[in-house]
Structure 1
């Protein structure tokens, strides 16, 4: 409510200044102001009165000579001083005519876009509204041009000859008509806070034109004492620089300095304004956008300019003007200086809500697909396959919900820097947000498209993000590989601190056609490297089916977001009920968090896991039963911190009889290479059994390295 009242007061103030702004006796800015306000659905009656009141004050009321009190400067009034009645008659007719024309045009549009069927129901006509939207500007321009030219000509002939009246009327009609689009863009930003990144230049031009008209309508001096225009120009420049930064701020500063230089006849004001703006931006940056920093930089700038460039700022009049502007800036409420963050947050919230909806829908599709694949994988496992713990599903959804709540905007200066870097490469970034995944790692979601039918590789975009955020960032594995001319969401993530190189060998039992062992190695997008080995009972196709069932089920459950311990317990229950304890399979899973190097080992009847440190060998053992022996069985979970260059060796139970044999082999290693380590282990296994393996053997060797 407070913001609406402020916007209404601001609208009427802009209207007053438009009415008070004249060029050689003409007021060509009232029509575009009225048309623009009408098009954005704001109050036109109050604006109508404010503009006429502004012009009336300029010409004087009741015999009072406004020119003696308000010193407007050159190029404002014409050669002859016209009475206030002439102004009221001329521009009342013009504004009323424009309002009537706008309402008639709106009525025609509604009639064209709707029709009534036989039942009396009104429906929309497809295509008409779009066609009307294409031609609306030409219709409005024609109406305004005809009205302004006609009324200005008739009124002009009342006070001057035809050779002067016609050119003046034509000039006023062209200016009034041509400025409508610019006024509309500027007022959308100023009043509605509507900003579109793709139309930044048009918005900036619109704001500059509105600001120029308003500043031009201000008197240079009031009562011959107060240098009103200089004070207002300085305040507006500092305010815009502090609130909006260099983009809008430097443009407004240039406009203020130029107009003040014209009205005062002192060209030095242009340079003074720009020098002050540079120092204000420096103070704003050093103080992290605090008002105190801007005030200090303003004071230093005025002193420096007075000493080195323009002595006017050290004169009593200059000190009074600059000091008044400083006091006015210091008295500005904080919410007026920071409300822009609210606009950004509002826009961010809308875009983030859209992004969260997309992520949620994608997650639901993933869950749906995962559940269907799990059902297919576990077909024939009996009722246990349908006994998914609802509490576990609730926890999984809760974790996903917690991740969504971590969504937050990226610091605005970083976002603007990133947007600029992308524009240099021909890419338009329309949205940027960040969110933490289940492993508490930051992911970035960017909505972007290219210009002029170009393409950009996602990995090149990741390089730009890395430079802007000053940390290694990569494109997610399952995200789009390119950015094209159509808007698409690209996901990026912080690069993990570590990476793992790994090698796997699987050898079947001597005389067997099929190995009963199965394995899986997969790096998940959340930075987890998951390595699994499942050894079915015995060898052959039956053992392979059991181990494949275990591996496939765990892959689907992990992809769906279930906790590993629950996935193992669920799989054990299903396989136990399916086989009634007659067949079983061992299961060994190692999960390495590539962000912090932590290893979590899950063992269900599996062989030991070996970690080769620089100072020795560490053995991780479990004591639980294999999968499928009992419906309920505890899983051994072991946590271990890994160091760079550590090697992890996972084996199936057919490799060696006991852990001492394996430790003896590993102690004789004279290489740190991951692949050579694997080949050495396999060669020793084959050597000890003389090439006739009595059981299937699978070996995974992974080495942790700095990324």
Structure 2
């Protein structure tokens, strides 16, 4: 194959076989561009349309097309209005000289009235049809009055009909004329715009009534050609609509063409139904419709003439370039080309959005790098040495500047003096303001103002240490901000990748699922597969009204589990309200584990408000978070502190930021928010529901316990409570949990609650070991009861205990074999 392609593209005898095709395509492209420029950009299409509309008649005497067309062109393309007026007057002149004068006079009357009243109009588009109506009515009556001297009731009614038609046609032309502009064409056409375009094209073809070539009617050929184009592009619905509208316009112009409407409508329907056969199928539909409808004619002569007209229309249709039909189909909703165009547009918008999100991610990453750039140890040491030099400079300025031994100490013995002062500063810092006797004797021998110098060093040391603490806090804050920015950058980067993920093509699997369901007797309206990734299946279905029988959970989900080879559950379900409606169901992968929790809590002295708060958060990333926060003290203030800690943590975790960065962010917010000494502890367990791996982050909290059979394991970490210091390292303890494990988390009111107990760890382990139940709620209640009983029924602190049981996720309904696999 490659050799054949290379042979075809290589020059043969100095001539490239592909070159004529390329040149021919280029020529056709230049011709198309030239025609678009001549007709659309320069506006000569308005001249041609105006000429044909100037000839168009309804009921052999009404000309309602001229003024609406001129008014619409004047409003939309004002610079092309003279061309339109010339075409209208020229077309009217082919009917009679009177028609030409009337067309020009009515157009001039409209132009005069519209220009005079323009400054009082707030919305010209809405006012234009009313100006057309009034001008046509008054112009027609004035013409009749001049020619006949009086106006009869019939003529008044006909003038009203013509003015009403002009009003409607003006609205139609305002919708359809923008489609003839290169700059104003939309990506898609609305239904009313398609109908308006068809009416305008049919009205234009009305101007060809009476024209013929070799005794073949031009309007019949062009109308059938129009039906063929739209049936081929948009299908049976639009094709039959074009036939009905075109035939109706022709029948209004010429009553003898009434049967032609049936022929066009039937042709559009058959052609649209046979469009799968491409152009030959659509042409065959017109031919069949012509033969069937031709039987109602007056004889064989008319049938032969109609077949010739059909043949001419088919010939023009077969000569129509594919590029023209493809370009037209891109603007009509429902066509594959329109869907591809919309998909391409959505893909472009998606890529632009993902690029912008990625750029923001890079910005946050650069900001994080900028904030963390000054945290290098070498730079910290250089800054410390520099600040030490400034410190000693301030000391010498206050003591040595006026000393007579200045030159002796600093010019001749610089290093010795510098080292002595540095050593004195270190002694004062480490020995709480005292200098060692040895150093003091040596310094007195070296300096004549030893005591004063030591006092100044002591004073300056206070400011130096304060400056060092402030600088360290700034460095810690910069590091925290850098971590937070890096976390946000990672979240936005992942979001950009999610945006760029396209929905994969799963037509084969969708057909497989539909077939399996139908063979089993389950009716499915539609299946849409978004992901078949192991552990992350995402399927949506539309099913008929099930009357609350639970087919989705009992039948469809088990069958999907067998087809896909993993447990599938119902994520969400929107049941139909009426029997004629449909239910929408979303299916997804089941997690390998589930967590069942039980909670027991009590406020100090039996109060209503506890300083402890707890939360169970199911994150979208397949993780389950259990958190307990204990605010310092009791009552409303402690409750608000602990509750706010958990709310902040929940929102940050749900955004996708890592657990350690989330806790540091919460700590930073709480430590900087207030100067009051209000702190809170945090006990957080993050459980991965796919493999039961758990991470424990304990900030000033009590130990947790894991019961596995008869074995009880303690989980402990040491960190200060949240809000005390601005920067701290979070100790993370990892633990692999197993099914049937019990995780017991508690506040200090439970752990330190038992009275006359020396070792709280052993007491709690013994009580957990002695439990005869593994129900989480019962375990929580029993532990709470034991602690309160040891205190003789007194509750001396807020108490909270959360017990979680890790269980295998066993679906309620087992899978149903379908003998099919979605590979």
Indicate whether the TM-score tops 0.5.
yes
Given that residues 641 and 678 in structure 2 are in contact (C-alpha distance below 8 angstroms), is that contact kept between their aligned partners in structure 1? no
Instruction: Tell me the TM-score normalized by structure 2.
Output: 0.50
Q: What is the deviation of 1:336?
A: 3.1
Q: Secondary structure at the match of 1:389?
A: helix
Residue 46 (str. 1) matches residue 83 (str. 2)? yes
Given that residues 231 and 325 in structure 1 are in contact (C-alpha distance below 8 angstroms), is that contact kept between their aligned partners in structure 2? no
Residue 99 (str. 1) matches residue 111 (str. 2)? yes
Alpha-carbon distance in structure 1 between the residues aligned to 2:707 and 2:315: 72
Q: Tell me the alpha carbon deviations over residues 55-84 of structure 1, each in whole angstroms, 9 at most, x when there is no partner.
A: 34x44xxxxxxxxxxxxxxxxxxxxxxxx4
Partner of 2:372: none
Partner of 2:285: 301
Pick one of 116, 120, 123 that aligns with 1:109: 120
Residue 273 (str. 1) matches residue 264 (str. 2)? yes
Mapping of 1:399-548 within 5 angstroms? Answer: 406=499, 471-472=584-585, 505-508=599-602, 517-521=612-616, 531-536=625-630, 540=634, 547-548=642-643
Structure 1 pair 202–550 and aligned structure 2 pair: CA distance change class (3 A): closer
Q: Tell me the alpha carbon deviations over residues 531-579 of structure 1, each in whole angstroms, 9 at most, x when there is no partner.
A: 4423439975697676445324324545788655422122345667899
Given that residues 88 and 103 in structure 2 are in contact (C-alpha distance below 8 angstroms), is that contact kept between their aligned partners in structure 1? no
Q: Secondary structure at the match of 2:627?
A: strand
Residue 143 (str. 1) matches residue 246 (str. 2)? no
Q: Tell me the alpha carbon deviations over residues 304-324 of structure 1, each in whole angstroms, 9 at most, x when there is no partner.
A: 546766575994553343343
Partner of 2:164: 178
Paired residues in the alignment total 540
Given that residues 90 and 152 in structure 1 are in contact (C-alpha distance below 8 angstroms), is that contact kept between their aligned partners in structure 2? no
Instruction: Tell me the TM-score normalized by structure 1.
Output: 0.57
Q: Secondary structure at the match of 2:163?
A: helix
Structure with bigger helix share is 2
Pick one of 326, 334, 337 that aligns with 1:334: 326
Q: Tell me the alpha carbon deviations over residues 631-663 of structure 1, each in whole angstroms, 9 at most, x when there is no partner.
A: 3324649799999xx999673366785998799
Residue 30 (str. 1) matches residue 122 (str. 2)? no
Partner of 1:484: none
Structure 1 pair 26–151 and aligned structure 2 pair: CA distance change class (3 A): same
Structure 1: gaps spanning 5 or more residues:
60-83, 111-128, 285-291, 361-381, 411-439, 443-458, 474-493, 670-676
Mapping of 1:53-64 within 5 angstroms? Answer: 53-56=90-93, 58-59=94-95
Residue 389 (str. 1) matches residue 481 (str. 2)? yes
Q: What is the deviation of 1:48?
A: 0.7
Partner of 1:215: 205
Given that residues 510 and 692 in structure 1 are in contact (C-alpha distance below 8 angstroms), is that contact kept between their aligned partners in structure 2? no
Structure 1 pair 699–260 and aligned structure 2 pair: CA distance change class (3 A): same
Pick one of 785, 801, 805 that aligns with 1:698: 801
Q: What is the deviation of 1:210?
A: 2.8
Structure 1 pair 48–664 and aligned structure 2 pair: CA distance change class (3 A): farther
Q: Secondary structure at the match of 1:44?
A: helix
Given that residues 575 and 583 in structure 2 are in contact (C-alpha distance below 8 angstroms), is that contact kept between their aligned partners in structure 1? no
Q: Secondary structure at the match of 2:728?
A: coil
Structure 2: gaps spanning 5 or more residues:
1-32, 296-302, 358-472, 504-535, 539-571, 752-760, 813-823
Given that residues 243 and 268 in structure 2 are in contact (C-alpha distance below 8 angstroms), is that contact kept between their aligned partners in structure 1? yes
Q: Tell me the alpha carbon deviations over residues 586-641 of structure 1, each in whole angstroms, 9 at most, x when there is no partner.
A: 33154889xx99998563357569799xx999999786746548733246497999
Structure 1 pair 10–202 and aligned structure 2 pair: CA distance change class (3 A): same
Given that residues 618 and 624 in structure 2 are in contact (C-alpha distance below 8 angstroms), is that contact kept between their aligned partners in structure 1? yes
Partner of 1:680: 778
Larger Rg, first or second structure (1 or 2): 2
Q: Tell me the alpha carbon deviations over residues 112-153 of structure 1, each in whole angstroms, 9 at most, x when there is no partner.
A: xxxxxxxxxxxxxxxxx37x9887654553334222331354
Q: Secondary structure at the match of 1:633?
A: coil
Q: Tell me the alpha carbon deviations over residues 393-415 of structure 1, each in whole angstroms, 9 at most, x when there is no partner.
A: 586489669679959999xxxxx
Residue 188 (str. 1) matches residue 174 (str. 2)? yes
Partner of 1:20: 55
Alpha-carbon distance in structure 2 between the residues aligned to 1:281 and 1:597: 56
Structure 1 pair 102–545 and aligned structure 2 pair: CA distance change class (3 A): closer
Q: Secondary structure at the match of 2:320?
A: helix
Q: What is the deviation of 1:254?
A: 0.7
Pick one of 231, 235, 239 that aligns with 2:225: 235
Q: Secondary structure at the match of 1:505?
A: strand
Given that residues 253 and 274 in structure 1 are in contact (C-alpha distance below 8 angstroms), is that contact kept between their aligned partners in structure 2? yes
